[in-house]
Amino acid sequence: MDTTILVVDDEQRMRKLVKDFLKQKNYHIIEAEDGEKALHLFQENKNRISLILLDVMMPKLDGWSVLRQIRQINKTVPIIMLTARAEEQDELFGFELGVDEYITKPFSPKILVARVEVILKRANPTKKELKSHDGIVIDDDARTVTVDGKNVELSFREYELLKYLIENENIALSRDKILNTVWNYDYYGDSRTIDSHIKKIRHKLGKKGKYIQTIRGIGYKFEIK
CATH number for the domain spanning 13: value is 3.40.50.2300
CA dist 49 and 163 (Å) reads: 41
Of 201, 196, 203, give the one whose Cα is nearest residue 179: 196
| Domains identified in the chain, total number | 2
Report pTM: 0.58
Which residues on neighbouring strands pair with residue 139, listed in sequence order? 144
Domain boundary among 123, 150, 166: 123
Per-residue pLDDT tens digits for 172-216: 999 989 988 887 655 555 667 889 899 999 999 999 999 999 999
In this structure, the answer to whether residues 110 and 166 fall within a common structural domain is no
Give, as one character, the DSSP assignment of residue 66: H
> What confidence score (pLDDT) does residue 126 get?
63
Domain that holds residue 82: 4-123
Amino acid at 148: D
What CATH number did the domain enclosing 195 receive?
Answer: 1.10.10.10
